[in-house]
Amino acid sequence: MNDNKTTITELSDTLDKFLKVRDWNKFHTPKDVSIALSIESGEILEHFRFKTDEEIKEYLKSAANRKEISYELADTLHFLLILARVLDVDLSKASEEKLKISEKKYPLKLSKGKALKYTNYEKKKK
């Protein structure tokens, strides 16, 4: 598998098979999967906590550190895919719709190169 060839559905189906043979789906309520997703996201943050940008740059030079982070990213993705399946959310469709909403919230003319909350741009449009 690699990102260039694997679809969301293929990845989700592979994960679902892994869970089914272990009889783990019964543990995957929206609440519990949401908690797991949050925990895994936090484990990504642990790699960067209390480090300056320069320290992070140096930290990321280590193949072992990058591998550990890649596993935390994979765990986070797995729980996101599980949650989407539990809630019957089509992630591709939701992503497309959310991007359209964001395009309106963040008009290119006003937001390009800026990292402000959308409410700052709403004030300027009026």
For 61-91, the pLDDT digits (tens) are 999 999 999 999 999 999 999 999 999 999 9
Written as one letter, the residue type at 30 is: P
CATH number at residue 56: 1.10.287.1080
96 and 113 both lie in a single domain? yes
pLDDT score, position 125? 53
Record the pTM: 0.87
**Residues 105, 53 share a domain:** no
**pLDDT computed for residue 126 by the predictor:** 53
Residues of the chain with pLDDT under 50: none
- Judge whether 111 and 121 are in contact, CB under 8 Å: yes
What would the 3-class secondary structure string for 12-70 be? HHHHHHHHHHHCCHHHCCHHHHHHHHHHHHHHHHHCCCCCCHHHHHHHCCCHHHHHHHH
pLDDT score, position 124:
57
pLDDT score at 1: 87
> What is the residue range of 10's domain?
1-89
Regarding whether 22 and 54 lie in a shared domain, the answer is yes
Number of domains in the chain: 2
In angstroms, the CA 105 to CA 124 distance is 12
Q: Quick one: 54 and 109 in the same domain?
A: no
